[in-house]
Chains A and B, each alone.
Chain A
Amino acid sequence: MKEFIIHYAHIILLFPLLGFIINGLVGKFLQDAFGKSICGIIASLMVCASFALSLGIFCTLSELDPRSRLFTITLFDWINVGNLHTSISFLFDPLTSVMLLIISGVGFLIHIYAIGYMHHDSSTWRFFAFFNLFIFMMLELVIADNVFLMFLGWEGVGLCSYLLIGFWYKDKANVIAGNKAFIVNRIGDLGFIIGVFLLFWAIGSQGIWTLNFAELKEYSYLLENLYLGNINVVTIICLCFFFGACGKSAQIPLYVWLPDAMAGPTPVSALIHAATMVTAGIYMVTRLSFLFILSPVALGVIAITGAVTAVFAATIGFAQNDIKKILAYSTVSQLGYMFLALGVGAFSAGIFHVMTHAFFKALLFMGAGSIILGMHHEQDITKMGGLRKKMRWTYYTFLVATIALLGIFPLSGFFSKDQILWSVFSSPYGSKSLWLLGVFGAGLTSFYMIRLVTLTFFGRHHHTDKAHDTLHEVHESPKVIIIPLVILAMLSVIGGFVGVPHIFGGSNILQVYLSPVIADAELNHYPMITEVGLMLVVFMCVLGFAYGAYYLYSRKPSRRAKLIERFSFPYKVISRKYFVDEIYQHLFVNNIMRTMRFMARFDMVVVDGLVNFAAFLTRIGAYGNSWIDKVFVDGLVNGIATVIGSLGSRLRKIQTGYIQDYVYVLFASIIFILLFRFMIA
Chain B
Amino acid sequence: MIKLETFLIVSAILFSLGIYIIIARKNVIAILMGVELILNAASLNFVAFNKYSVPTSFSGQMFSVFIIVLAACEAVVAFAIVMSMYKNFKDINADSATTMKE
Distance of A492 from chain B, by nearest CB (Å): 110
> A207 within 8 Å of B by Cβ?
no
A667: B residues at CB distance < 8 A: 19, 23
- Does A658 contact B95, Cβ atoms closer than 8 Å? yes
Whether B22 and A663, one on each chain, are in contact in the complex, defined by CB atoms closer than 8 angstroms, is: yes
From A655, A660, A664, contact of B94 by CB (8 A): A660
Nearest chain B CB to A368 CB, angstrom units: 102
**How far is A255 from B43 in the complex, measured between Cα atoms in Å?**
130
Q: Enumerate B61-102 residues with CB–CB distance to A below 8 Å.
A: 94-95, 98, 100-101
Please, how many angstroms separate the alpha-carbon atoms of A660 and B22 in the complex?
Answer: 7
Q: Which of B23, B98, B100, B101 sits near A660, CB closer than 8 Å?
A: B23
Report the count of interface residues on A (CB-CB < 8 A).
8
Residues of A within 8 A of B24 (CB): 660
Q: In the complex, are the beta carbons of A659 and B101 less than 8 A apart? A: no
A648 contacts chain B at the CB level, 8 A cutoff: no
A663 to B95, CA, bound (A): 14
What's the minimum C-beta distance from A348 to chain B, rounded to whole angstroms? 109
* CB under 8 Å from chain B, chain A span 174-218: none
Is A533's beta carbon under 8 Å from chain B?
Answer: no
Contact call B23/A664, Cβ cutoff below 8 A = yes
Q: A498 CB to closest chain B CB, in angstroms?
A: 111
Q: What residues on A are CB-neighbors of B23 within 8 Å? A: 660, 663-664, 667
In this assembly, does A82 line the interface, its C-beta being within 8 Å of a C-beta of chain B?
A: no
Instruction: Name which residue of chain B comes closest to A664, CB basis.
Output: B23
Q: How far is the CB of A678 from chain B (nearest CB, A)?
A: 15
Per-residue interface assignment for chain A, residues 649 to 681, with 1 indicating a CB less than 8 Å from any chain B CB and 0 otherwise: 000000101111001100100000000000000
Complex contact A659–B100 (CB within 8 A): no
Q: How far is the CB of A432 from chain B (nearest CB, A)?
A: 123
Q: Among residues 620 to 673 in chain A, which have CB atoms less than 8 Å away from a CB atom of chain B?
A: 655, 657-660, 663-664, 667
**Contact between chains at A657 and B22 (CB < 8 Å):** no
Closest partner residue, chain B, to A655 (CB atom): B101
Q: B94, A659: Cβ atoms under 8 Å?
A: yes
Residues from chain B with a CB closer than 8 A to the CB of A660 are 22-24, 26, 31, 94
Q: How far is the CB of B94 from chain A (nearest CB, A)?
A: 6
| Among A660, A663, A667: residue with most chain B CB under 10 A | A660
A-side contacts of B19, CB under 8 Å: 663, 667
Please tell me if the beta carbons of A657 and B98 are within 8 angstroms of each other in the complex.
yes
Shortest C-beta distance, B59 to chain A (Å), equals 27
Chain B interface SS verdict (over half): helix
Which residues in B have their C-beta under 8 angstroms from that of A663? Answer: 19, 22-23
Those of B1-32 within 8 Å (CB) of chain A: 19, 22-24, 26, 31
Contact with A along B44-69 (1 / 0, CB 8 A): 00000000000000000000000000
| A contact residues around B31 at 8 Å (CB) | 660
In the bound complex, residues from chain B placing their C-beta under 8 Å from that of A658 are 94-95, 98
Contacts of B100 in A (CB 8 A): 657
| Minimum distance in angstroms from A649 CB to a CB of chain B | 15
Residues of chain A contacted by B94 (CB below 8 angstroms): 658-660
A376 to chain B: closest CB distance in Å? Answer: 99
Bound CA span A663–B98, Å? 16
A194 to chain B, nearest CB (A): 90
Centre residue among B19, B23, B24, B98 by max chain A CB count within 10 A: B23
List the A residue with the shortest CB-CB distance to B19: A667
Contacts of B22 in A (CB 8 A): 660, 663
| Cβ–Cβ < 8 Å partners of A655 in chain B | 101
Cβ of A610 to closest chain B Cβ, rounded Å: 67
Q: How far is the CA of A290 from the CA of B19 in the complex (A)?
A: 124
Closest to A665 in B: B23
| B101 to A: closest C-beta gap in Å | 4
A73 to B80, CA, bound (A): 104
In the assembled complex, the Cα of A659 lies from the Cα of B23 at a distance in Å of: 9
Give the distance to chain B from A195, nearest Cβ to Cβ, in Å.
93
Instruction: Say how far B75's CB is from chain A's closest CB, in angstroms.
Output: 18
Give A642 to B8 CA distance when docked, in angstroms: 54
Q: Closest residue of chain B to A661, judged by CB?
A: B23
Q: What's the Cα separation between A663 and B22 when bound, in Å?
A: 8
Within the complex, the shortest CB–CB distance from B78 to chain A, in Å, comes to 13
Q: How far in angstroms is the closest Cβ of chain B from A583?
A: 100
A660 to B98, CA, bound (A): 12
Interfacial chain A residues near B98, Cβ < 8 Å: 657-658
- Chain A: CB-nearest residue to B23: A664
Complex-state Cα separation, A658 to B94, whole angstroms: 8
A284 and B22 alpha carbons, distance in the complex (Å) = 117
Tell me the smallest distance from the CB of A430 to a CB of chain B, in Å. 117
Once bound together, how far apart are the Cα atoms of A657 and B100, in whole Å? 8
A655 to B102 Cα, complex, angstroms: 11
A659–B98 Cα distance when bound, in Å, is: 10
Please, how many angstroms separate the alpha-carbon atoms of A658 and B101 in the complex? 9
| A664–B31 CA distance with the chains assembled, in angstroms | 13
Q: Mark B26-41, 1 if CB is under 8 A from A, else 0.
A: 1000010000000000
Nearest neighbor of B24 in chain A, beta-carbon distance:
A660
Closest B residue by C-beta to A656:
B101
Chain A minimum-CB-distance residue to B98 = A657
Q: Nearest chain B CB to A599's CB is how many angstroms away?
A: 78
Complex Cα–Cα for A664 and B34 (A) = 14
Residues on the B chain within 8 Å of A659, using CB: 94
Residues of A within 8 A of B101 (CB): 655, 657
Please give me the residue from chain B that is nearest to A668 by CB atom: B23
A667 to B38, CA, bound (A): 13
A317 → B minimal CB distance (Å): 108
Question: A9 to B101, alpha carbons, bound, how many Å?
Answer: 93
Question: With the chains together, A663 CA to B26 CA distance in Å?
Answer: 13
A280-297 interface code vs B (CB 8 A; 1 in, 0 out): 000000000000000000
Enumerate the 4 nearest inter-chain pairs by beta-carbon distance, A residue then B residue, closest first: A657-B101, A664-B23, A657-B98, A660-B23
- Please, could you name 20 A-B residue pairs with CB atoms under 8 Å apart, sorted by A? A655-B101, A657-B98, A657-B100, A657-B101, A658-B94, A658-B95, A658-B98, A659-B94, A660-B22, A660-B23, A660-B24, A660-B26, A660-B31, A660-B94, A663-B19, A663-B22, A663-B23, A664-B23, A667-B19, A667-B23
B residues whose Cβ falls under 8 Å from a Cβ of A = 19, 22-24, 26, 31, 94-95, 98, 100-101
Extra 15 A-B pairs, beta carbons < 8 Å, given A659-B94, A660-B22: A655-B101, A657-B98, A657-B100, A657-B101, A658-B94, A658-B98, A660-B23, A660-B24, A660-B26, A660-B31, A663-B22, A663-B23, A664-B23, A667-B19, A667-B23
